[in-house]
Structure 1
Amino acid sequence: MPLIQISQTPGLTTEQKTEVIAAVTRAYAEASGKNESSVWVTITEVPRENWGVGGTPLG
């Protein structure tokens, strides 16, 4: 079972998350030859203050 984990800042609507999950699932299944029903996708929303790029917090 492939598991794809997406970490991002909050902001997507429920409808956008549904679209992202569907698109990522389709892309992975097409590229890997796996059945879409075996692909798991999670979206974890991490507050901006918990991110840093180049040593600088985003918050």
Structure 2
Amino acid sequence: MPIVTIQVTREGSGPGRDSVTAEEKAKLIAGVSQLLLDVLNKPLDATFVVIEEVELENWGWGGLPVPEKRRRLAAGGN
């Protein structure tokens, strides 16, 4: 019984969006489940997929909180 956890930032995937849509989550669940069936022969009814939306401020990248890292990159830094 595989359990797969997908973590995404709670910022959505486009301007003005603050979350991943239910349709996008359904596609992620279907795609990951199908991948496990194709690669590991795990039946769909035995596969569990958990999607966790994490506040952007709770992510780090390159030793910095993501918002700060993005500010620096936008300003031409690291």
Give the TM-score normalised by structure 1.
Answer: 0.93
4+ aligned runs moved over 4 Å, structure 1: none
Q: Unpaired segments of 5 or more residues in structure 1?
A: none
Question: Which of the two has greater strand per residue?
Answer: 1
Q: How many residues matched?
A: 59
CA-atom RMSD, angstroms? 0.8
CA shift, 1:41, in A, is 0.1
Max radius of gyration: which structure?
A: 2
Q: Unpaired segments of 5 or more residues in structure 2?
A: 13-19, 68-78
Q: Which is bigger in relative contact order (C-alpha 8 A, separation at least 6)?
A: 1
Give the TM-score normalised by structure 2.
Answer: 0.72
CA shift, 1:53, in A, is 0.8
**Identity over the aligned pairs, expressed in percent?**
39
- Identify the match of residue 21 of structure 1 among 4, 7, 29: 29
